[in-house]
Amino acid sequence: MSQETKALFIIFGATGDLAHRKLYPALFRLYQKGYLQETFAVVGTARREWSNDYYQEVVLDSIAKMNGSEEEKESFSSHFRYQSHNVKDTEHYHTLRKLADQLDEEYGLEGNRIFYLSMSPSFFGTITSHLKEQSLVTERGFSRVVIEKPFGTDFDSSKELNDEINASFDEDQLYRIDHYLGKEMVQNILALRFSNRLIENSWNKESISNIQITLSEKLGVEERGEYYDKSGALRDMVQNHVLQVVSLLTMNKPEVFDTDTIRQEKMAVLEALKKPVVSFDEKTDFVRGQYAQSTDGKVKAYREEDKVNTETTTETFVAGQIAIHNDTWEGVPLYIRTGKRLAEKTTRVDVVFKETDSSLFNDQPSVLTIHINPEEGFELTVNNKQVGPGMNLEPITLSGLRSDEETEKSPEAYEKLILDVLQGDETHFAHWGEVATSWKYVDQIRKVWDCNTESIPFYPALSMGPEESDQLLAQNGHEWVYKG
Ligand code: BG6
């Protein structure tokens, strides 16, 4: 059985969708695996007046479809308490502290506390300063703060937010969630790169032509129109998930495999990103788009979505080419694209190798594909001699895809990330330096786009984005490997 970890979780935003969909199921899986057993408790807080019983029902509901006996689920949910809480009211923190101390005693938690902030970032500073001032932070055990995105809306606002939080907590107590960093195949990138000499030796500008990162979603904005219309795909996906994947794909080899060294290497490559050229003509490094109705008229346009401005020019699609200014990557474009209402839900990286430099064969570029979601695993497409006379080539794909069963078993990102928080491992969280550098990069694009809010290219829902996305690669003689 796994080593049991002692801790009290205090969740701010316990009545929210994220807690229901992700946190309670993740905690239950950790419970089933033995990481959480008798010595843990959860206090859920939010404005609403809920009883403990009702809260435990909600928790049970969130894990209803998961494997596990009724008895096991009941005993898990008995660790949950609810406390109605106004984040601005000092008195409420006193009440919360009493409850926390009592649970600490009851469950033998040794003063270990995890404060999980799953609500609007505008409250983060208020909450963290109260936690400190009203002594919810204990002297005895660890106190860690988990922060959900979005961490600001640009560099200035994220810096302000960070300063507020830093007034009460140090960087090494902060766990900024980027759930992509908890994905099995995103974590696998470093293993693939640095445990295979074959790959390690060819992971550079001498061998690689270009790298393509696709984070495409089939869903539209669903119920999140209000947030999304202010955010857009650039802030929602590129500043965080896309740039984190870029940094893992291109960072130099860390001398040792520890959090600080990995962070330093990720930072070094993010700082080496060239300033993007952004314009509204074909010389641009970044293009945007917004989904219109699908060609059969069955799927509605973004402008028709709930809580979205009917004349909005917010982008639901971004494609770009990122250039890195260092010895390893000079001249190798990293193409990225992400969008809503695209043809398929797929998250993948296609690494396109250069052709051989001899004229012996009419060879095609080899491609290594890292499938992140929904499939997990690798595929390598190489040239192969066609059976029979002559020396004609055909592509063959070597597949390292996991079976559906294996993929099903692989732990969900939140489960892994919460376990990391429990164990004090910050490797798979976004460090302030990375967040700040990513915002600075994205702000340069935003600044230009915000000068033109009159129009935006459209793409039919369920396509692979506007034609500008294909043109971006075509100008370098490249094309997207994944065509949807
Ligand atoms: C979130 C974005 O961070 O990531 C959402 O806010 C997006 O808009 C989601 O849908 C995508 O995550 P995943 O894991 O489904 O690729």
pLDDT digits (tens, 9 = 90+) for 432-474: 999 999 999 999 999 999 998 999 999 999 999 999 999 999 9
Residue whose structure tokens are 């609403």 = 48
Tens of pLDDT, residue by residue over 340-386, are 999 999 999 999 999 998 889 999 999 999 999 999 999 999 999 99
Minimum CA distance residue for ligand 1 atom 6:
236
Residue 3 alpha carbon to ligand 1 centre in Å: 31
Q: How far is CA 173 from CA 165, 183, 364, in A?
A: 10, 22, 49
Same domain? For 219 and 299 the reply is yes
Residue-wise pLDDT for 211-222, tens only, equals 999 999 999 999
Has residue 421 been placed in a domain?
A: no
Asked if 29 and 135 touch (Cβ cutoff 8 Å), the reply is no
Please indicate, yes or no, whether residues 139 and 249 belong to a single structural domain of this protein.
Answer: no
Q: Is residue 215 part of a domain?
A: yes
| Closest-lying ligand 1 atom to the alpha carbon of residue 149 | 3
- Letter string b/e over residues 44-62, b meaning 16 or more CB atoms within 10 A of that residue's CB: bbbeeebeeeebbebbbeb
Is 484 domain-assigned? no
The answer to whether 217 and 463 are in contact (CB under 8 A) is: no
Does residue 250 belong to any structural domain of this protein?
yes
Residue 298 domain-assigned? Answer: yes
Domain boundary among 132, 148, 164: 148
Pocket of ligand 1 (CB under 6 A): 217, 236, 347, 373
Percent share of the chain, pLDDT over 90: 95
Which two three-digit tokens encode residue 258?
Answer: 């520890």
Long-range CB contact pairs, 54-57, < 8 A, 24+: 54/82, 55/14, 55/80, 55/81, 55/82, 56/80
Are 239 and 443 in contact, with CB atoms under 8 Å apart? no
Question: What total number of domains does the chain contain?
Answer: 2
The CATH number that applies at residue 208 is 3.30.360.10
Q: Supply 144's token pair.
A: 């860690």
Q: Mark whether 194 and 144 lie in a shared domain.
A: no
- 408 band by pLDDT with thresholds 50, 70 and 90: confident
User: Is 416 in a helix, a strand, or coil?
Assistant: helix
In a domain, 166, yes or no: no
Query: pLDDT tens digits, residue range 272-297?
Result: 999 999 999 889 999 999 999 999 99
**Cα distance between residue 416 and residue 422, in whole Å:** 10
CA of 37 to the centre of ligand 1 (A): 31
| Res. 271: pLDDT tops 70 | yes
Centroid of ligand 1 to alpha carbon of 253 (angstroms): 28
**Interval 190-207 mean pLDDT:** 97
Instruction: Determine the atom of ligand 1 nearest the C-alpha atom of 178.
Output: 3
170: in domain = no
By residue range, what is the domain housing residue 55?
A: 7-148
Mutate to test the pocket of ligand 1, among 22, 216, 218, 237 (most ligand atoms within 8 A of CB): 237
Q: Whose CA is nearest to atom 2 of ligand 1?
A: 236
pLDDT of residue 1: 47
DSSP code for 342:
B
Q: Work out the pLDDT band at 2, boundaries 50, 70, 90.
A: low
Q: Are residues 211 and 313 in the same domain?
A: yes
| pLDDT, mean of residues 265-271 | 98
Residues 102, 191, single domain; the answer is no
Q: CATH code at 94?
A: 3.40.50.720
Cα 44 to averaged position of ligand 1 atoms, centre (Å):
24
Q: Is the pLDDT of residue 251 over 60?
A: yes
Mutate to test the pocket of ligand 1, among 217, 235, 318, 376 (most ligand atoms within 8 A of CB): 217
Are residues 340 and 257 part of one domain? yes
The backbone region for 177, taken as left when phi is positive above 0, alpha when psi lies in -120 to 50, beta otherwise, is: beta
Instruction: Indicate whether 129 and 193 sit together in one domain.
Output: no
Residue 402 inside a domain? The answer is yes
Instruction: Tell me: pLDDT of 4 over 80.
Output: no
- Catalytic, 241? Answer yes
- Of 413, 412, 425, 420, which Cα lies nearest the Cα of 262? 425
Contacts with 182 (C-beta within 8 Å, 6 or more apart), sequence order: 412, 413, 414, 415, 416, 417, 420, 428
Residue nearest to atom 4 of ligand 1 (CA): 237
Which position among 241, 371, 428, 478 bears the catalytic label?
241
Do 203 and 133 share a structural domain? no
Average pLDDT rounded to a whole number, residues 227-237: 97
Same domain, 123 and 247: no
Distance (Å) from CA 358 to ligand 1 centroid: 43
Report, as an integer, the average pLDDT of 92-119: 96
- 131 and 210 in a common domain: no
Show which of 97, 130, 148 is a domain's final residue. 148
118 and 23 in contact (C-beta within 8 Å)? yes
Nearest atom in ligand 1 to the alpha carbon of residue 241 is 3
Are both 140 and 255 inside the same structural domain?
no
At 309, list the tokens. 């401005």
Distance 241 CA to ligand 1 centre (A): 9
Ligand 1, atom 9: closest residue by C-alpha: 237
The C-alpha atoms of residue 323 and residue 2 are separated, in whole angstroms, by 43
Atom of ligand 1 nearest to the CA of 236: 6
pLDDT of 85 strictly over 90: yes
Same domain, 188 and 229: yes
If you measure from the C-alpha of residue 245 to the centroid of ligand 1, how many angstroms do you get, rounded to a whole number?
Answer: 14
Give the pair of three-digit tokens for residue 483: 């065509």
What mean pLDDT, rounded, does the chain reach? 96
- Compute how many other C-beta atoms are within 10 angstroms of the C-beta atom of residue 101: 16
Helices (H), 15-154: 17-18, 24-32, 52-62, 70-77, 90-107, 124-133
The ligand 1 atom at the shortest distance from the C-alpha of residue 221 is 8
For the residues 385-398, what does the mean pLDDT come to?
96
